[in-house]
Amino acid sequence: MEGKKTLGRRKIPLEKIEKEAARYSSFSKRRSGLYKKASELVREFDVNLGIVLSSPSGKSYSFVHPTTDVAIDRFINPTTELDLGAQLVAAEARNKVIQNSDRLNELDAREKAAKEKIRFMDQKNEARVRCWWESMDQFNAEDITKFEGIMNTAEGFLNVQLKQLEDGASSSIHSPPKDADS
């Protein structure tokens, strides 16, 4: 068995990222990942959830489901049941999370399809730029036979066209002029 080509998943020691730009970028990417995971948890397991983050620049971010009050109340007293109003708010918030998640999945699918189409069009344009004779070395015997048939057919059509042009030119030379009677 040949050796691994990548390092794969491995444990990365937690240490401060020294470059400020890299730290901000990493924070943004991880925040998005946390929000996505939080949305999945809410959707799949119908849980109350609250996440509060503070960026390297000091800006605060939060993800709360269904509402801040419900999440804090649940944190303070986990056995408390929600009143009817809070249950309705939670149900509405859950529906919004499901709708937004569905929309996100749809947009991800569209993005994937668009990227695939762009890749296909790039390949098509690249093939168009290359002339057919540049790819002749990639032809197999069947391709060459097909190409030979196409060329023979084209030659036949051109010979017929040439013959018609020659016949038309010779007949117009020998025919009398249209105004010969006058």
Which comes out higher in pLDDT, residue 14 or 170? 14
pTM surpassing 0.85? no
pLDDT single digits (tens) 29-70: 999 989 989 888 888 887 888 999 998 888 999 988 888 888
Compute the distance between CA of residue 100 and CA of residue 111 in angstroms, rounded to an integer. 16
Q: Which CATH class is domain 22-129?
A: alpha beta
pLDDT single digits (tens) 71-91: 888 888 888 787 888 788 878
Exposure string of 127-152, with b = 16+ CB inside 10 Å and e = fewer, is eeeeeeeeeeeeeeeeeeeeeeeeee
So what's the pLDDT on residue 3? 66
